[in-house]
Amino acid sequence: MPHTCCAVGCSNRFTPETRGRGITFHRFPKDPVMRKKWERAVRRKGFTASSSTMLCSKHFRPEHFDRTGQTVRLREGTVPLSVFKSNEEKFSLTPSDARTSRTSMKARESPPPETIQPPIPPQVLPEPAPLPEPTIDHAYASTPEELRVKLSEALARLETLEREKRNAKDRERRIRNTVSCLLEDLELKKTMNEELKERLDVYSDLPVHLLSKHSHEYTKEQRDFAMTLHDHGPKAYNYLRECLHINLPHPHTLQRWIHSGESKPDIMMLDTPSQDDDAANCFAQETVVQENMKLSQVNSLPYEDFVNIFGNVVEKCPFVAAAVWSQLPFADVDAFERAICDFIDSMPDLGKEGILRCHPDLAGRDLETGALTQESRSEQATVALDALSSDESCTMFCLNEEYKERFSFPFVICARMNDKASIFQEMRTRMTNGCVTERERGIEEVKKISCLRLRDLVQSDTESQF
């Protein structure tokens, strides 16, 4: 129920129409002293204000208000005006208040004779100063009418979007029903010959569900499909996205997914030959030729050949081979191994972490895209990390990401000395180690990998005699 101003003779009510005219309403203060002052200013006999009693802004001076914010407030210590009626209302008498005596009625009927009085010179009264206009300091302040218009526009826009959404769903449903009916009619009328069936079967395996976005986010399957499609052909990807308007994410979004590790493609890449593959095959053939070298041949190798052959004994760290070359000749293969291990041990902690970061993730993106070195590819293949199931691949990916987030370098283990089950177990167990302990543990695994790779390349002169 709307409240009414408690001032005598004031008919302003707390309604939207009244507030639209700029009239504000203010409750009596809670402070007992100020509340008494307000009650005395009202000048109503026996009047006591309640918690809901209000006075309108007509009974305050303009300087009493603080209009700097969105809400009009009274300044501290403000007391309403003690006189609510104007002088005209105060001294005007209603017919019921007029005197009814014989003399009074006679005086009203016969006015006194007019007397000539000298004219009074007009007095020039000063013009009243204009009231200060309320200022709106905040750009976001709006009138109720403006807010009402904005709300109406937003509701109309929402209704339009919902109607378009319903229409789009209806069109999609009708198209699907039409296609299904056409196929049924073809089968019933026996007009589906072998040639037409083969043509339709060609398009039956298209991943249509991967090309439609049913929510504001892409599913994991859609992400993997988009990344694999972009890897096969960026130009074709852009053509499908921009010209055919297929719902595919922007290439920048794909880059963000790759850098953040949010997704990785589960669809295998096509085996398309390229110049990089040819170069890799030539390098692999050259490495095979250099396998099982005699130690005497190793001791006589020049610097460039030595680094080219043994540069990947420590994964992607040819500087280790470059440093070890200065210790030639080696008495035996064990001395060669000790030289590599001693150099790794002599490195600072940051250098050791750098060696660990050169190793790839187990069953990671490099394995799927074919970016692994020949040694890493063959080592991961020995424990079938290149043939994981979908659940195993997802588990391995989560463990790799959790490990790197904890230690800031990838998980390293000698795959040739373990099996698939023990690798999963080691990843979970070593996750509880401290950073220093895990760094040293990873370096020990690097040494094991290096020694096995070295044994694949070099044999002692005594072994070659048998």
CB 418 within 8 A of CB 277: no
* DSSP line for 202-261: HHHT--GGGS---SSS--HHHHHHHHHHHHH-HHHHHHHHHTS------HHHHHHHHHHT
Instruction: Name the H helices within 325-434.
Output: 333-345, 349-357, 365-369, 374-382, 390-407, 420-430
Spatial neighbors of 41 by CB under 8 A, at least 6 apart, are 79, 80, 81, 82
For residue 379 the two structure tokens come to 């080592």
State the DSSP code for 328. Answer: P
For residues 390 and 267, what is the distance between their CA atoms, to the nearest angstrom?
11
Burial class (CB in 10 A: 0-12, 13-18, 19+), 393: middle
Amino acid code (one letter) for 131: L
Within 10 angstroms of residue 357's Cβ, the number of other Cβ atoms is 14
d(CA 335, CA 37): 102
List the catalytic residue out of 26, 59, 230, 359.
359
Q: Write the CA distances from 64 to 131, 132, 395, integer angstroms.
A: 12, 12, 70
Phi, psi of 12 (to 5 degrees): -70, 130
Bond preceding residue 329 cis, omega within 30 of 0: yes
Residues 460 and 319: beta-carbon distance below 8 Å? no
Question: Which token pair is 361?
Answer: 């993730």
H or E segment and range at residue 293: strand 293-294
Q: Which run of H or of E encompasses 287?
A: helix 275-290
**Please, are residues 292 and 264 in contact by the beta-carbon 8 Å criterion?**
no
Q: Is 359 a catalytic residue?
A: yes
Residues 6+ apart with CB under 8 A from 50: none
Instruction: Give residue 401's identity as a one-letter amino acid code.
Output: E
Task: Please tell me the distance from the alpha carbon of residue 93 to that of residue 102, in angstroms, as a whole number.
Answer: 18
> What DSSP element (H or E) covers 300?
none
Helix-then-strand count for the chain, H and E: 20, 6
Task: List the catalytic residues.
Answer: 359
